[in-house]
Amino acid sequence: MDRRGFIKICGGTAALAGLQARYVQAVSAAETKNFNRVKLVDGDGNPIKASQLSSEEAYIFHYPYKSTPCFLINLPAKPAASMAMQADDGEYEWKGGVGPNGSLVSYSAICAHQLSYPTKEHSPISYTGGTVSKLAGRGGMITCCEHDRVYDPSQGGKMVVTSKEATQPLAAVVIEYDGANDEIYAVGVTGGLLYDEFFRSYKRALLAEYGPGVAREEVSGTTATTLMSKFTGGFDKC
């Protein structure tokens, strides 16, 4: 039964109204979608060690699809344990950081405004690390210089510095920390997923880079994780 059908059947009684409300809440389109459990590895296929990650810049890996880039960020401090977030499709909970210091967070690197993303040649969107962004007036932000959006990775990737029309937060990648081995896994994505729009918007470029059908294939097993400065030829600063 689809959601609309369920609501129609339930619509007659006060007793069922609460159930209906709970059902609508439970199916928020922004809740976590599980994808393959994928280990983050370096360029040689060795597992990334969480305790050795730089906090000066972000890492890039691709997940949940072979063409969809994500940031892995080691924040300078542990962020809030969790936050209630609002995407265009509904509410969801961002569950904070993981890792040995609870400071590792991960987000889609596809801008929630108009889908700018990092390529091997260039990136308008990046993590500022300790460098103070002119746009944000502080460091530690994800800036997209295409149209000047700033996202705070310590607050679930929500847009901050609101002189521009608001966008939903960056989708958050759900990562797990294997403390016994100091390794990191990506397991899902939560928030506003923009993958269909991304595949449509960059159809030609993705076809040229990956070949027929490959861009939409889910990543499985491992995913290569690279410092942003090594992944891309250059990135904008704003």
In the bound state with ligand FES, the residue whose beta carbon lies nearer, of 114 and 155, is 114
Neighbours of 127 (CB within 10 A): 27
For residue 90, the tally of other CB atoms under 10 A from its CB is 16
Nearer to ligand FES, 116 or 232 (CB): 116
> CB 68 → ligand FES: shortest distance, Å?
15
Residues 6+ apart with CB under 8 A from 172: 85, 94, 105, 106, 107, 108, 156, 157, 189, 190, 191
Of 111 and 228, which has the nearer Cβ to ligand FES? 111
Q: Give me the least distance between CB of 147 and ligand FES, in Å please.
A: 3
| Least spacing, CB of residue 22 vs ligand FES, in Å | 35
Nearer to ligand FES, 221 or 234 (CB): 234
Separation of CA 23 from chain center: 26
Residue 144 or residue 172: which is nearer to ligand FES going by CB? 144
Q: Would you tell me which residues interact with ligand FES (CB under 6 A)?
A: 111, 113-114, 116, 144, 146-147, 149
- Cα distance between residue 191 and residue 198, in whole Å: 15
Q: Which residue is it, tokens 């994500």?
A: 70
SS3 of 50-103: HHHCCCCCCEEEECCECCCEEEEEECCCCCCCCEEEEECCEEEEECCCECCCCC
Taking the least distance from each CB to ligand FES, the nearer of 20 and 114 is 114
| C-alpha atoms less than 13 angstroms from C-alpha of 23 in its C-beta half-sphere | 16
CB of 45 to ligand FES, least distance (A): 32
Q: Across the chain, where does the E strand assignment appear?
A: 33-41, 59-62, 69-74, 83-87, 90-94, 104-108, 125-127, 142-144, 149-152, 158-160, 172-178, 183-190, 222-224, 226-227
Residue 78 Cβ vs ligand FES, minimum distance, rounded to whole Å: 27
Tell the smallest beta-carbon distance from residue 236 to ligand FES (Å). 10
Query: Could you tell me the smallest distance in angstroms from the CB atom of residue 144 to ligand FES?
Result: 3
Nearer to ligand FES, 99 or 156 (CB): 156
